[in-house]
Structure 1
Amino acid sequence: MKFKTLALMGLAAVIGAGALGWQSLDKETRGFLAAFPTNRDLLFWSTSQRDAAFRALDRLPFLAKHRVVPAGAMPSPLPPGPPLALPLDVDAYMQGQRSAALMVVHNGQVRLERYGIGFDSQGRWTSFSVAKSFTSTLLGAALRDGYIKSMDDKVSDYIAEMKGSAYDDVSIRQLLTMTSGVAWNEDYDDPKSDVAQFNNHKPDDGVEAVVSYLRKLPRAVPAGTRWLYSTGETNLVGVLVSRATRQPLSSYLSTKIWVPIGMEQQATWILSKTGQEISGCCLQAATRDFARFGQFILNGAVVNGQPSVPDGWLQEATTARIGIGQPGRGYGYQWWTYDDGSFAARGIFGQGIFIDPARQLVIASNANWGNNATDPTASAAREAFYVAVQQAVDAEAASRQ
């Protein structure tokens, strides 16, 4: 995604005298300002600039505004368990990932929790596309609450500005599975791609920015016939949920998830230039709360014995609805799926929540991959780490028999 360019005048205002003086800013924000690139967007910042930015985006209102997701008064416990014996060097793995945080929760107990690159348990790290799985879950909640009638309703039933566009006849189910058939370019290395350009689009008067951008895109193939990864479409899901519930996504997230399941810290959600949460990205939260969300999904999205989503919906959401061209992998409702029944939320630069129901396992990761947004070497190492944790859990179980 793109953020506004920081003008020198804006920088001077932030570090000037008074309440917003340099000394009043926290260490992470000062580090970000010291390294900030005045004329480039996030996808093309240096590693050190991203190190500073990923923990501070919500403390820089001149860069991007946000809404707070309030937490409740009583955090849910994450009790410690015995250290998990892993068949690898965790320190070396974290160094290779440029890991900010790594947590393994097994049977509801924290079996591993470590931090790196100057980050800690009290900080918030940006999610990137891990937010997509939160947005999907909020749509499931809106179905349960009756705000949305059916997964087969059309997008334009809820977003009237999409009538007459390529999205007019796209169903909510197709939007969630990214099978709309509408053209989109998600190349993070291309500064002219849709994912790099859409947030700088000048929206039509009175129209939400992402709606204004997406309704101009052409149809490439018939709806339902092709999977194509599109952050823009998840942003459209967020608009749809906000329209249906008649409230900001951050408020609905707090009401349905953040407070009921006992998150320990407030979260923040970055907004578009027209004031809508960028729902395909940019939810800032503590790593322990990302792990709590994974545990919530692992437990069936149930709060106090009451389901948060319709019966059977979560099973559909976390199993393959469409193939993605990789053996053993698929895509559900904004979740990446594996044929063994596990599934994951994934974000660029190394963010992730991996969930394995068979092993009662949640792995939460935050990182800043040094090479590029989708670094294949780092991605493969993370997949290997998931397998190593599964093997360690299996070995532990076998030793008790």
Structure 2
Amino acid sequence: MFQLNYVAAGLTAAAALTSMGGPALAQSDDPSRWLAPTMIEARANMFMPGLNYLTFQHMDQMFATREVAAGDTVWELPENPMSLEGDYTIQGETFDLEGALERTRTNALVVLKDGELVHETYRNGSGPDTRFLTFSVAKSYTSTLIGLARADGLIESLDDKVTTYLPEMEGSGYDGPTVRDLLRMRSGVNWEERYEFGSETQLTTVHDNSLVAYNYRWCDYAANESEPGANAPDAVFNYATLDTSVLGCIVERVTGKTGAEYMSEKLWKPMGAEHDAYWIMDGPDDVGREFFGAGLAVTGRDHARFGQMFLQGGMANGQQVVPADWVTEATVPDEGYEPFAEGAPMGYQYQWWTDAASDVFMALGLHHQFIRVDPENDIVIVKISYTQEPVGRDAENEELFAQITAKLTQ
């Protein structure tokens, strides 16, 4: 899936500027606002353990952003509080609910059962109006924008080549794979998703240049630097945030709008989101793009609305927002695609993770963010975390989810 060897300390401002050759941007109305050394250093250190509980709540103070406007009509979630108190066993230790949330480093927990809001907890200074950056949870939203663009007739077929919509990708690693290949993380592009922030790995190089120093855009890297890998498109699953970035650029190209604009118009307002969301950018507004692979900040309740909409086959607030056939196509594994590797407990459909042992599907993000949709039990769990490690603690969260589910279904 991906390799972990996390370097806790990010780049210093001086290292970011020196190693990347300094900013090289088009003219901006106020480039100094986002290119000041203090801001670069803040972005470089956004994952720092001990403070990430706070930085994950305030990314709009470190990044250029684009707002996803909510509408005037809110999808009101009926409230039916149910107790989740009691003992929880996490990795062999017993805790009460608060202890379990602290053990799994939780900022927010929002739970829906039968379409009703049965529990929410906010911790560490957060609240119902806090917009949390939940990293690769954004991938499931970007996938949904592809589905909406297809429903609008702007994408003729998922089997179209990427270059059909982004001709600038000709000659790059993306000259060959289809839109569907990218949705499944099977582009065949040479990419190693290894989380060693502060190192010189491929992911970190792009992260540091695009999100930290604002030197170039993710899709610029895809067009100018990506190369075919050892495997043909569709042959092997290889988790690649770069694939999702290219999907987002397809959305931009076919709609003629920014990702934030299209998301507001086609998803956020029709769904009845309660709060504006925002995307962090890979550059100031005049040159930057939404970080489609991991850059969406959303409240816990609005994440829950999104999950509930998918549980309801794309219905939200009394209307069909996302086509029902897209919901099925995006979240139910095709034969031969689950698990994603021999012996793996999970599969991967269209930027949604699937559980090989059940009909559960999930939007997952770095540092253990979850929108967990459980159709069999009619439960949606949103868990927003701030773990020290970017990956590797899924087992303890699955234990927590199983015990929450048991309390709600006994």
Asked if Structure 1 and Structure 2 have the same fold, meaning a TM-score greater than 0.5 normalized by the shorter chain, the answer is yes
Contact 2:304/2:371 (8 A) holds in 1: yes
In the alignment, residue 405 of structure 2 is paired with which amino acid? Q
Q: 2:271 aligns to what SS in structure 1?
A: coil
Contact 2:136/2:363 (8 A) holds in 1: yes
Match of 1:46 in 2: 48
Question: Which structure's residues are more often helix, by fraction?
Answer: 1
Q: 1:311 to 1:39 in 2, by over 3 A?
A: closer
Which of 328, 348, 351 is the equivalent residue of 1:331?
A: 348
Q: 1:217 aligned to 2:219?
A: no
**How far does residue 307 in structure 1 lie from its aligned partner after superposition?**
3.7
Which of 306, 315, 318 is the equivalent residue of 1:293?
A: 306
1:169-318 pair list within 5 angstroms: 169-189=176-196, 191-201=199-209, 209-215=217-223, 216-220=225-229, 221-273=231-283, 274-303=287-316, 307-318=320-331
Contact 2:134/2:296 (8 A) holds in 1: yes
Q: 2:367 aligns to what SS in structure 1?
A: helix
Contact 1:184/1:230 (8 A) holds in 2: yes
1:39-78 pair list within 5 angstroms: 41-42=44-45, 45-58=47-60, 60=61, 63-78=62-77
**How far does residue 304 in structure 1 lie from its aligned partner after superposition?**
6.2
Looking at structure 2, the residues matched to 309 and 95 of structure 1 have their Cα atoms a distance apart, in angstroms, of: 35
Which of 341, 350, 357 is the equivalent residue of 2:368?
A: 350
Looking at structure 2, the residues matched to 257 and 366 of structure 1 have their Cα atoms a distance apart, in angstroms, of: 22
Q: 2:251 aligns to what SS in structure 1?
A: helix
Q: 1:54 to 1:105 in 2, by over 3 A?
A: same
Contact 2:78/2:116 (8 A) holds in 1: yes
**How far does residue 296 in structure 1 lie from its aligned partner after superposition?**
1.2
Contact 1:199/1:209 (8 A) holds in 2: no
Match of 2:387 in 1: 369
Match of 1:121 in 2: 128
**How far does residue 390 in structure 1 lie from its aligned partner after superposition?**
2.6
Comparing 127-136 with 303-312, greater Cα deviation is found at 303-312
Residue by residue over 1:96-128, the C-alpha shift from the partner in whole angstroms, topping out at 9 and shown as x without a partner, is 122110011001111211111221112111120
Match of 1:399 in 2: none
In the alignment, residue 242 of structure 2 is paired with which amino acid? G
Match of 1:386 in 2: 401
Match of 2:166 in 1: 159
Contact 1:319/1:330 (8 A) holds in 2: no
**How far does residue 4 in structure 1 lie from its aligned partner after superposition?**
9.7
Q: 1:174 aligns to what SS in structure 2?
A: helix
Q: 1:145 aligned to 2:175?
A: no
**How far does residue 55 in structure 1 lie from its aligned partner after superposition?**
0.8
Identity across the alignment (%): 33
**How far does residue 134 in structure 1 lie from its aligned partner after superposition?**
0.5
Looking at structure 1, the residues matched to 237 and 41 of structure 2 have their Cα atoms a distance apart, in angstroms, of: 36
Q: 2:136 aligns to what SS in structure 1?
A: helix
Residue by residue over 1:66-122, the C-alpha shift from the partner in whole angstroms, topping out at 9 and shown as x without a partner, is 111111122211222131446522211110122110011001111211111221112
Structure 1, unpaired ranges of 5+: 8-34, 396-401
Residue by residue over 1:267-306, the C-alpha shift from the partner in whole angstroms, topping out at 9 and shown as x without a partner, is 1111112321110111111111111111111111135665
Residue by residue over 1:294-326, the C-alpha shift from the partner in whole angstroms, topping out at 9 and shown as x without a partner, is 111111113566544445222121122423234
Looking at structure 1, the residues matched to 306 and 253 of structure 2 have their Cα atoms a distance apart, in angstroms, of: 24
Contact 1:37/1:49 (8 A) holds in 2: no
Looking at structure 1, the residues matched to 136 and 188 of structure 2 have their Cα atoms a distance apart, in angstroms, of: 20
Q: 1:228 to 1:394 in 2, by over 3 A?
A: same
Q: 1:80 to 1:311 in 2, by over 3 A?
A: closer
Comparing 256-265 with 98-107, greater Cα deviation is found at 256-265
Looking at structure 2, the residues matched to 267 and 176 of structure 1 have their Cα atoms a distance apart, in angstroms, of: 23
In the alignment, residue 388 of structure 1 is paired with which amino acid? Q
Looking at structure 2, the residues matched to 282 and 37 of structure 1 have their Cα atoms a distance apart, in angstroms, of: 17
In the alignment, residue 65 of structure 1 is paired with which amino acid? A
Match of 2:29 in 1: none
Q: 1:259 aligns to what SS in structure 2?
A: helix
Looking at structure 2, the residues matched to 359 and 293 of structure 1 have their Cα atoms a distance apart, in angstroms, of: 17
Aligned residues: 357
Contact 1:67/1:268 (8 A) holds in 2: yes
In the alignment, residue 225 of structure 1 is paired with which amino acid? A
Q: 1:335 to 1:223 in 2, by over 3 A?
A: same
In the alignment, residue 124 of structure 1 is paired with which amino acid? R
Structure 2, unpaired ranges of 5+: 1-8, 15-37, 89-95
Q: State the TM-score, normalizing by the size of structure 2.
A: 0.81
Q: 1:101 aligned to 2:108?
A: yes
